[in-house]
Amino acid sequence: MQTLGDTGPVRPLGTLAAAAAGTTLALSTSLLVAPPSNAPGTLTRVAATSTPLAGRTIVLDPGHQLGNRNFPREIARLVPAGGMTKPCNTTGTSTNGGYPEATMAMSVSRLLKRRLEALGARVVMTRYANREDRWGPCVDVRGRAGNASSGVRADLKLSVHGDGNIGGGPGFHVIAPTSRAGWTDDIAASSLVLAKRVRLALLAAGLPVAAYTGGGDGLDLRGDLGTLNLSDVPAAMVELGNMRSRADAARMTTLSGRTRYARALAAGIVSYLR
Q: Where are the domains of the chain?
A: 11-38+56-273
Where does the pLDDT of residue 219 fall: very low under 50, low under 70, confident under 90, or very high at 90 and above?
Answer: very high
Considering only CA atoms, which of 143, 139, 208, 147 is closest in space to residue 173? Answer: 208
At 12, the pLDDT band (50, 70, 90 cuts) reads very low
Residues 157 and 146 sit within 8 Å (Cβ to Cβ): yes
Q: What is the mean pLDDT of the chain?
A: 86
Q: Kindly state the greatest CA–CA separation across the chain.
A: 55
What is the mean pLDDT of the segment spanning 129-138? 97
Greater pLDDT, 82 or 30: 82
The CA dihedral of 32, 264, 59, 209, to the nearest 10 degrees, is 180
Arithmetic mean of pLDDT, 97-101: 98
Q: Give the pLDDT mean for 103-123.
A: 98
Query: Which position among 74, 117, 132, 239 bears the catalytic label?
Result: 239
Q: Is the pLDDT of residue 13 over 90?
A: no
Query: Is the confidence at residue 259, as pLDDT, over 50?
Result: yes
In order of 78, 81, 126, 140, 196, the CA distances from 85 in angstroms are 6, 5, 20, 9, 28
The CATH number of domain 11-38+56-273, selected from 1.20.1560.10, 1.10.3720.10, 3.40.630.40, 3.40.50.150:
3.40.630.40
How much is the pTM?
0.84
pLDDT at 58: 98
Confidence (pLDDT) at 114: 98
Confidence (pLDDT) at 250: 97
Helix (H) or strand (E) holding 251: helix 246-252
Taken in order 119, 204, 186, 232, the sign of the CA dihedral is negative
Torsion, CA 192, CA 197, CA 198, CA 200, rounded to 10:
120
User: What is the residue type of 113?
Assistant: K
* 239 labelled catalytic: yes
Q: Residue 268: pLDDT above 90?
A: yes
Backbone φ and ψ of 161, nearest 5°: -145, 175
- Between CA 101 and CA 174 the distance in angstroms is 16
